Amino acid sequence: ADIVFDIGAHIGFYSILFSRIVGEKGKVYSFEPSSEVSSALALTIDRLANTTLLPFGLSDKESDGFLFIPEDASAASLADWTNESLGKVHKISCQIKRLDDLLANNEVPRPDFIKCDVEGAEELVFRGGLEILDCKDAPIILFEVNEEASKGFNLSKTGAMDFLASLEKADFSFFDARTDALSQISEIPPPLPSALAVNILAVPKAKLNRLSN
């Protein structure tokens, strides 16, 4: 029975997919801090018996923060995009928590798989989940690398991958996840001409055998 975290669930496309994959015995936890999006997501999740909505953001520190939502873009971010050329930006308040605190408080179990797409803040999410990620039973992680979005947090595009690579107990290997045929990588490849981001799959040593399955 697999446990999946969909971090940055947005309208729930991947949550629905994960719900079908894990089946009745599995569980999906959908993290989405935007109240404007999560209200619609809640309607979707209500029909999924194995999926739970957690309406807050994740980072390396617990706090009350703001989510910045450009009217001319589909993405929202915890970084202030007010000065970007994305049209009018409005902000809404949101809670921000740490993965490790959720685990310690028994609000979530240990995940088997994490999908993390949080508009440049992936490194911060991972730093807040050290207990979950730095262990031999670490989850497989699919995460996005978006250089421009990372700049909004004063982070480098390699930060998330570098942090995961430093976790000796998990001993992650990395793969380019943009094609069906996964290719192992040691550095982040450039995005395709039609895309702003790159999807990376991080697999702990203990779960490398699952790739063949």
Residue for token pair 């309406």: 55
| pLDDT per residue of the chain (213 residues) written in tens, 0 to 9 | 899 999 999 889 999 999 999 999 999 999 998 877 777 788 889 899 999 999 999 999 999 877 676 665 556 665 665 555 556 777 777 899 999 999 999 999 999 999 999 989 999 999 999 999 999 999 999 999 998 888 888 899 999 999 999 999 999 999 999 877 889 999 999 887 777 889 999 999 999 998 876
* CATH superfamily of the domain spanning 3-60+98-212: Vaccinia Virus protein VP39 (3.40.50.150)
Residue for token pair 């450039």: 190
Q: What is the pLDDT of residue 41?
A: 84
| Core vs surface per residue 154-183: b (16+ CB within 10 A) or e | ebebebbbebbbebeebebbbbbbbeeeee
The reported pTM is 0.90
Q: What is the pLDDT of residue 39?
A: 76
Distance between CA 197 and CA 199 in Å, rounded? 7
Q: What is the pLDDT of residue 71?
A: 66
Domain edges within the chain: 3-60+98-212
What would the pLDDT profile of 46-97 be if each residue is shown by its tens digit? 899 999 999 999 999 999 877 676 665 556 665 665 555 556 777 777 899 9
Q: What is the pLDDT of residue 76?
A: 62
Q: What is the pLDDT of residue 177?
A: 93
**Which residue(s) pair with 175 in the sheet?**
184, 201
Distance between CA 203 and CA 60 in Å, rounded? 22
